[in-house]
Amino acid sequence: MTMQQTPLLLWRLLDRGAWITPNEEIVSATNSGSHRLTYAEAATRARQLASALKEHGIGIGDRVGSFMWNHHRHFEMYQAVPSMGAVLHTLNIRLGPKDLEYIINHGNARVIVVDDDLLPLLEPLAPRLPSVELYIVSSESGEWDTTITGAIGYEDFIRRGADDFSWPELDENAPLGLCYTSGTTGNPKGAMYTHRSTYLHTMAEAMTDTMGMSGTDTVFGIVPMFHAMCWGLPYTATMLGAKQVYPSRFMQPERLLDLMAAEAVTLACGVPTIWQGVRNAVEAEPDRWDLSNLERVLCGGSAPPASLLRWYWDVLGVEMIQAWGMTETNPLAVVSRRIAKRAHRQLSIDEQFANVRKTGLLEPGLEIEIVDDDFKPLPHDGTSFGELLIKGPWIASEYHADSQPDKFRDGWLLTGDVARIDPEQYLIITDRSKDLIKSGGEWISSVDIENHICALSGVLQAAVVAQPHPKWDERPVALVVKSAAGGLTEDDVMRHCAESFAKWQLPDEVLFVDQLALTSTGKLDKKVIRGDLSDQGYLLPDLR
């Protein structure tokens, strides 16, 4: 029997939400409260936007940039631009002007849709962006002004379009999204997502053992829409017809908690700094918010401390799902859940959380391997560690217009992460290869020490970085941000570390700081942290 070869086009999934749940809501935070839009209304507006873009001259494969917060208009772009065959070029609003200018020009964006409060970030760059021919301004109030010539308001623009616009048939390997890395080493690099890759990722993300999203959920997308396609959440939620909630620019923990309580959120997704801030707010006012509907939170971007994982379960009864991925993995690839196998039901809570602390199990359809310096596979024994490789139908095989042969080999993406794989096939990421510390010929994992320090009461954040040493090559230094009530001393931190690490692995010094540098995606920026220590003339005790 011959089966139909229907192209895997994203709009076939996205249209389902408005079809099965036309009256379900997409809710966005606003200055005065919230904006509410039904799936049916959003689908109509997405077609108007696509039609107006086509009338402007945007065709198959053309880039349409978004420079926006998380809200309903950005959601409309997520549906309209890929479905019409163009490419959604998400622009990171937290990047500096140099990287932002590079990304827009390298991606060759023809149109940029921008929130009015972000215009001051784009206006100085506009004369140096030759490919951009139109700026469309999204404004909550409808009152905006700009120095950019020819800019038009979002609502005025989509009124030009027809609400019965038909999505075209395309090659399933046609591009739909262009996302760039944060550029911590060299220029940012672009990963081009295709209809096929995103279709398959969307299906995998909805699986029970991934995050178990369903049409019964209320999904809170806190992770920025400009970061790795919001981890694919808008697409999976739309396919299922789930209620969606977006915070716009209101990222304060109290405002996030207000939304979670008011909208009866069941699944919320964000980076560890978000979840630490939420924890602090709840601990300060434990009776203020009703979070009885919240079932699980997805935490990605960097590994959450074990203490944070356990707090959400012990205090709120909420499962924190740890997820790992990269811009290049479209983006989620590995997930760690409390009970991931039938046999785990027999484990104690402490044993279950020992598994949750691991990076997780691979999503179906992907392959991983760890290799040594000669590219030879290493045993999955939980102790051998090497560079992590990954491949599969939603993993990048090259960068957009940027040859990086050292990143791709024999169909594998070389992640730059150092990892172990245990006999149960759990992935355990040890560190970024550039962040490992080599002391006296032995490797020290900065991540392991950081996570251990973060489990100490009174610690808000911790970073461990290498500093040069004349005898040992490199030695670790810990930088710690105390919580508001933290009365910690260096001896407290060192005694805590000595409980789990050998003497040679312990930091040579603990420095207390007010804040730690973060990347535009909320991860510790080790490059900046190391540079700051050097610029400040810091010396290890043995070098003083």
Separation between Cα atoms, residue 407 and residue 391, nearest integer Å: 12
* 117-134 b/e (C-beta count within 10 Å ≥ 16 → b): ebbebbeebbeebeebeb
Which of 44, 181, 329, 359 is flagged as catalytic?
A: 181
User: Residue 515 pLDDT > 60, yes or no?
Assistant: yes
What was the pLDDT predicted at 185?
57
Same domain, yes or no, for 441 and 429? Answer: no
**Active site includes 438?**
yes
Q: Which of 76, 140, 205, 328 does the annotation list as catalytic?
A: 328
* Residue 543 clears pLDDT 70, i.e. is over it: no
Residue 506 has pLDDT above 80, yes or no: yes
Beta bridge pairs of residue 101: none
Under 8 Å between Cβ of 82 and 167: no
Do 391 and 502 have their domain in common? no
Does pLDDT of 184 surpass 70? no
Name the domain boundary from 417, 433, 449.
433
pLDDT digits over 228-248, tens only? Answer: 999 999 999 999 999 999 999
Residue from 68, 96, 33 nearest 249 by CA: 68
Which tokens is 353 given?
Answer: 């959380």
Query: How far, in Å, CA of 318 to CA of 328, rounded?
Result: 29
Three-state SS string over 434-482 comes to HHCEEECCEEECHHHHHHHHHCCCCEEEEEEEEEEECCCEEEEEEEEEE
104, part of any domain: yes
| 544 has a pLDDT exceeding 70 | no
Question: What's the total number of domains in the chain?
Answer: 3
Nearest CA-CA partner of 200 in 154, 235, 225, 226: 235
pLDDT digits (tens, 9 = 90+) for 320-346: 999 999 999 999 999 999 999 999 999
Residue 91 tokens, joined = 């622009």
Confidence at residue 304, expressed as pLDDT on a 0 to 100 scale: 86
Domain for residue 106, yes or no?
yes
> Is the pLDDT confidence value at 461 over 60?
yes
Residue 527 lies in a domain: yes
In a domain, 266, yes or no: no
- The mean per-residue pLDDT over the stretch 121-147 comes to 97
Question: pLDDT-based confidence at 542, cuts 50/70/90?
Answer: low
Q: Is the peptide bond before 468 cis (omega within 30 degrees of 0)?
A: no
Where is the domain boundary, 433, 450, 479?
A: 433
State the pLDDT at residue 269.
97
Confidence (pLDDT) at 387: 94
What does 122-191 look like in DSSP terms, one character per residue? HTTTGGG-TT--EEEEE-SSS----SSTT-EEHHHHHTTS-TTPPPPP--TTSEEEEEE---SSSS--EE
pLDDT of residue 474: 84
For the question of residue 443 being annotated catalytic, the response is yes
Among 197, 212, 245, residue at a domain's last position: 197
Helix (H) or strand (E) holding 412: strand 412-421
Mean pLDDT in residue range 372-384:
95
Q: In the 8-state DSSP scheme, what is residue 240?
A: H
332-346 residues labelled b (16+ CB within 10 A) or e (exposed):
bbbbbbbebeeeeee
Residue 321 lies in a domain: no
If asked whether residues 427 and 529 sit together in one domain, one would say: no
Average pLDDT over residues 201-208: 97
Residue 372 shares a structural domain with residue 500: no
As a whole number of angstroms, the distance between CA 177 and CA 161 comes to: 22
**By three-state DSSP, how is residue 45 classified?**
helix
Encode 276-307: b = buried (16+ Cβ within 10 Å), e = exposed.
Answer: bbbbebbeeeeeebebeebbbbbbbbbbbbbb
pLDDT in the model for residue 497:
92
- Whether the pLDDT of residue 460 is over 90: the answer is no
% of the chain beyond a pLDDT of 70: 98
Q: Residue 421 belongs to a domain with what CATH number?
A: 2.30.38.10
Clarify whether residues 72 and 148 are in a common domain.
yes
Q: Is residue 390 part of a domain?
A: yes
Report the distance separating Cα 419 and Cα 280, nearest Å: 31
Residue 35: phi and psi, rounded to 5, are -110, 135
Residue 194 forms beta bridges with which residues?
Answer: 175
Whether residue 455 is found in the same domain as residue 393: no
Indicate if 107 and 14 belong to the same structural domain.
yes
- Considering all CA atoms of the chain, what is the largest pairwise distance in Å, rounded to the nearest integer? 78
The HSE-up count of residue 175 (CA atoms within 13 Å, CB side) is: 21
Q: Tell me how far the alpha carbon of residue 45 is from its chain's centroid.
A: 27
Please name which of 274, 323, 330, 333 lies closest in space to residue 302, comparing C-alpha atoms.
323
Handedness of CA 296, 178, 59, 48 (dihedral sign): positive
Instruction: Answer yes or no: is pLDDT of 486 > 70.
Output: no
Q: Same domain for 427 and 452? A: no
Mean pLDDT of 428-434: 83
pLDDT for residue 283 = 95
Do 46 and 157 have their domain in common?
A: yes
Spot the catalytic one: 443, 472, 509, 527. 443
Handedness of CA 311, 237, 56, 62 (dihedral sign): positive
Residue 453 belongs to domain with CATH number: 3.30.300.30
Low-confidence winner among 87-96, 266-275, 448-457, 517-526 (lowest mean pLDDT): 517-526
* Residue whose token pair is 């990954």: 390
Asked if 60 and 41 sit in the same domain, the reply is yes
Find residue 538's DSSP bridge partners.
none
In the predicted model, is pLDDT for residue 483 greater than 90? no
Q: Are residues 57 and 176 in the same domain?
A: yes
Cβ contacts of residue 472 below 8 Å, gap of 6+? 439, 440
CA distances 495 to 457, 462, 503, 514, 527, Å, are 13, 16, 11, 22, 27
CATH of the domain at 67: 3.40.50.12780
Residue range 85-98, pLDDT digits in tens: 999 999 999 888 99
My answer on whether 392 and 442 are in the same domain is no
Tell me which of 341, 438, 442, 489 is the catalytic residue.
438
168 pLDDT band, cuts 50/70/90, is very high
* Cβ partners under 8 Å of residue 481, min gap 6: 459, 460, 461, 462, 512, 513, 514, 515, 516
Structural domain including 382 reads 362-433
- Is 331 a domain residue? no
Query: In the prediction, which pLDDT does 359 show?
Result: 95
Tens of pLDDT along 344-363? 999 999 999 999 999 999 99
As a whole number, the mean pLDDT across the chain is 93
- pLDDT of amino acid 2: 79
181 is catalytic: yes
> Is 526 within the bounds of a domain?
yes
Lowest-pLDDT choice from 38-47, 64-73, 140-149, 299-308: 299-308
